[in-house]
Amino acid sequence: MEAVLPDVPRLSRSVPAAKVGIVHLGPGAFFRSFGAIFTEDAMAAHGGDWGICAVSLRSPSARDQLGPQEGVYTSVTLAPEGRHPRVIGSVSRILVAPEDPQAVLDAMTAPDVRIVSLTITEKGYCHEPSTGLLRLEHPDIRADIEAPSRRKSAPGLVVEALARRRAEGHPPFTVLSCDNLPDNGRLVRGVVLDLARVLDPALAAWIEQTVRFPATMVDRITPATTVHDIAGLARSEGYHDPACVVHEPFRQWVIEDDFTDGARPAWDAAGAQFVRDVAPFETMKLRCLNGTHSALAYLGYLAGHGTIADAVADPPFAALCRHLWEREILPTVPQPEGEDLVAYCDALLDRYRNPAICHRTWQIAMDGSQKLPQRLLGTVQDNLAEGRPVPGLALAVAAWMRYVGGVDEAGGAIDVRDPLADRLKAASEGADEPSGKVAALLAVGDVFPSSLASDRVFREAVSGAYEGLCRIGARAMVVALTGAEPN
C-alpha cells in the first residue's frame, strides 16, 4: 500500500546557491547523505566556492527530484530516539549526461571546478572486478572510443574533460572516488589512464604526470528512501521533498591528502580525516562492515530476513557477525592508526541493530558480482595464504551462489539485480548437483580469480556450504557454524 501524501508545498531554496567548485558524478542517495553534507558543513565552517554540480550518468530521476527545488533537499538522520531532518543546500546545479553531454563537459572544463568526485558504484568504473583493469569491450567504453563527442561512461567523461582542460591551458581537476572499492584512487586512475592511452598517448602521459587521484574511505549506512519516508517528512515538516534521504547518525570519511594545488574544501572542519595512507582504514571498513553486510544480505535474505536490523535481531545472525570478525576477518586487517578494531566491530553491531534503519537485505545484495572480490574474496585469499580455514566466508559465498540462482528456499523467484545476472543464472542452471553449480560459478572469471577458483580448500568449503544450504537452509547453516541457540 502506498503512503498518502499530504497536500503541502514543494521544498524550495531559501538562500542563494554557492558558486560551483565541484562536479559530482552519481548524485544518488549515498552522495546526498554523505559528500554533499560534508561539503555543506565545510562551507559553513570556512566558506569557499564549493557548490556542487550534480551529474546523473543515466537516469533523470535525481534531476526530476532536485531540479524543481533548485538543488535543495532534506537529510533525515534516523537515530534510535527519533528522526532529525535538516535541509541541505550545497547542490547548486543538476545535469543529466545523456540529455546534454556537452553541458556536462562544459561544467567539468570550467576553470573554477577543482574537483570531480564520483559515487557511481562498482559497475560504473567499467572495469574487471577481479583485476581492476578497464574493460575495453564494455559497451559504454566502446561507445566512448567510437564517438568522443558523446561520452557515456564516467571514465570517458573524465578523460574528455581533462583533454579539454589541457588544450585550453587550465590546470587539471582532482579526481576523487568515493565508492566502496579497495584503493579506489588507484582504481579510477588506472581506468582513466587505460582509456586515455587508447585515445591519445600524449594525453595519458599528461594525466599520469599532473592529475591527482586521492584514495578515500567512506562510511554511512543509507537505506533507500521510501514513499513512507517522503510522506512522513511532509507531515512533520509541512513540505513535499521527493529528493529526501535517510541515513544513520554515524559517518566517517578518511581521505588521502593529495589534491591538485592543495585545492579542497575544509572537509576536516566537518569531521573528515586527512591521512597519508587510507589503505588500513579502507581494508577495515570493506572487510569488517561491507563484508559482514554482504554475508547478512545473502544469508539473511535466504532465511527470510527483510532488513539488516531484522537479521541481527535473530541471535544466530548476530553470532555470525562476531564469528566472522573474530576468526576470519580481523586476522587479515592491518591496524589503522588510532583505531581499536574490536571496539570498531562492537560499534558496527550496534549500528546494525538500529531499529530506525530499514536497510533491506535485497538492496545490499544488488550487484554482488562486482562487490564480492572487494568485500569477501580478498579476505578469503589472505586467510588461505596463512593456512587459516574460512567456513563463515565460504558460507557467505555459497549463499551468494544460491541467491544468484534466482530461486529462494521456498521455491519462489528472486529478483536478482546484477550486471552479470543472466550469465550467473545460466551457469547455475547448467548443473544439477550443488558441486556442479559451485564449479560453474567459480569458473566465472569476472568474479573469481583463477588462483582462488582452483584452490582445493576453498572449492571444498564452498561446495560443502552450498550443499548444506540446499539441504537444511540458511538459518540452520548459520546455527551450525556459530553454535548459537536455534530458538
Query: Sign of dihedral through CA atoms 62, 67, 70, 75?
Result: negative
Instruction: Round to whole Å and give the CA distance between 394 and 478.
Output: 12
Q: Which domains does the chain have, with CATH numbers?
A: 20-275 (3.40.50.720), 279-482 (1.10.1040.10)
Instruction: Round to whole Å and give the CA distance between 120 and 139.
Output: 17
CA distances from residue 328 to 150, 212, 392, 458, 481 in whole angstroms, order as listed? 46, 35, 7, 14, 13
Instruction: Round to whole Å and give the CA distance between 113 and 103.
Output: 14
Instruction: Round to whole Å and give the CA distance between 391 and 45.
Output: 48
Phi, psi of 179 (to 5 degrees): -100, 155
- pLDDT, one tens digit for every residue, the chain (487 residues): 356 677 899 999 999 999 999 999 999 999 999 999 999 999 999 999 999 999 999 999 999 999 999 999 999 999 988 999 999 999 999 999 999 999 999 999 999 999 999 999 989 999 988 788 999 999 999 999 988 667 889 999 999 999 999 999 999 999 999 998 889 999 999 999 999 999 999 999 999 999 999 999 999 999 989 999 999 999 999 999 999 999 999 999 999 999 999 999 999 999 999 999 999 999 999 999 999 999 999 999 999 999 999 999 999 999 999 999 999 999 999 999 889 999 999 999 999 999 888 889 999 999 999 999 989 999 999 999 999 999 999 999 999 999 999 999 999 999 999 999 999 999 999 998 999 999 999 999 999 999 999 999 999 999 999 999 999 999 999 999 999 876 6
Q: For residue 31, give every residue at least 6 positions away whose Cβ sits within 8 Å of its Cβ, in sequence order, or none.
A: 24, 54, 119, 178
* Residue 145 and residue 199 in contact, taking contact as beta carbons nearer than 8 Å: yes
Which cell numbers hold the place of 12?
524550495
